[in-house]
Amino acid sequence: MNSNIPLIETEQLTKSYGAKSAVEAVSFQVHSGEIFGFLGPNGAGKTTTIKMIVGLLKPTTGAARVGGYDVQAQPIQAKSITGYVPDEPNLYAKLTGRELLRFVGNLYRMDRKQVDRRSEELLRLFDLLQAADDTIDSYSHGMQQKTSLAAALMHDPKVLVLDEPTVGLDPRSSRLIKDILKQMAERGSAVFLSTHILEIAERMCDRIGIINQGRLIAVGSMDDLRRMSQGVTSLEDIFLNLTGGAEYSEIAEVLS
């Protein structure tokens, strides 16, 4: 894999359902060692974009490339270096946590010893060792979310894509995830995460992309975004300025 090429790249990525465009001509790049935050209001097209990047959804036009591999043309190569954590941790309820991690390891064609070692490491890291032999249907939402993240990390991916990874997690687990993401970036992986928690995006992300009504309306570092918003300093204000949140003051008036 060429080290100069971006690990995630979308080129005029578009997804339409009939006449309606869920995502329209979205282009950006995420490089090795970078944490990229993807923000947008509900229904803006974040999850659709993510699903096209990980190969869950076929773009109507445009392309998504992971590690230089076209996700549609070379899906096996692209998927083998990607780890994905969905917004809803739908996991096989009748498998145990340990079985799920081993299954995922086998899917990624990992060596048996490596699978055993790695699954034990991740179970310990996410504090799941005690529940490792319980079926997943007995896990709380937070435990399922952690299992989902552990599954995404099993094969030590070069690209990690996370859709709202901290939803339902306690502060300790949330902190753990943030630390893991930072470490992965330091080790040269590319991390792409969507979140509604602007504090996470502001503190953790090297660059931020804001999507609204299917269009990428801003991309850049915090400084770049501040410059674009002409002096507005907080990400919340920048976000509301760009996506149109001024009308919320009227709602507050009605409620009062």
Backbone angles phi, psi at 223, to 5 degrees: -60, -45
Taking the least distance from each CB to another protein, the nearer of 118 and 207 is 118
Looking only at residues 3 through 42 of this chain, which bind another protein when binding is defined by CB under 8 A?
15, 17, 22
Does 206 interact with another protein (rule: CB under 8 A)? no
* Cβ at position 57, least distance to another protein in Å: 6
Taking the least distance from each CB to another protein, the nearer of 42 and 249 is 42
CB neighbour burial string for 146-179, b if at least 16 within 10 angstroms, e if fewer:
bbbbbbbbbbebbbbbbbbbbbbbeeebbebbbe
DSSP state of 230: T
- Cα dist from 30 to 126, 174, 188, 192, whole Å: 27, 23, 12, 8
| CA–CA separation, 162 and 144 (whole Å) | 14
Does 98 interact with another protein (rule: CB under 8 A)? yes
Does 186 interact with another protein (rule: CB under 8 A)? no
Q: Which long-range contacts (CB under 8 A, 24 or more apart) does 108-116 make?
A: 108/80, 108/154, 108/155, 110/154, 110/155, 115/154
> Which listed residue (62, 75, 168, 220) binds another protein by CB under 8 A?
75
Does 48 interact with another protein (rule: CB under 8 A)? yes
* Cβ at position 141, least distance to another protein in Å: 11
Taking the least distance from each CB to another protein, the nearer of 24 and 240 is 24
Tokens 């465009």 belong to 21
Does 254 interact with another protein (rule: CB under 8 A)? no
* Cβ at position 55, least distance to another protein in Å: 6
Q: Helix, strand or coil for residue 217?
A: strand
> Which listed residue (86, 147, 184, 189) binds another protein by CB under 8 A?
86
* Cβ at position 1, least distance to another protein in Å: 15
User: Which amino acid, one-letter code, is at 224?
Assistant: D
Taking the least distance from each CB to another protein, the nearer of 23 and 181 is 23
| CA–CA separation, 241 and 245 (whole Å) | 7
User: Which amino acid, one-letter code, is at 103?
Assistant: F
Stretch that binds another protein, among 106-114, 164-172, 202-210, 230-238 (CB under 8 A): 106-114
Taking the least distance from each CB to another protein, the nearer of 4 and 130 is 130
Establish how many alpha carbons lie within 13 A of residue 214's alpha carbon, considering only the half-sphere containing its beta carbon.
13
> Which listed residue (54, 64, 122, 198) binds another protein by CB under 8 A?
54
For the CA atoms of the chain, what is the radius of gyration? 19
Chain positions contacting another protein, by CB under 8 A: 15, 17, 22, 47-48, 51, 54-58, 75-77, 79-80, 82, 84, 86, 88, 90-96, 98-100, 102-109, 112, 115-116, 131, 133-135, 137-138, 140, 151
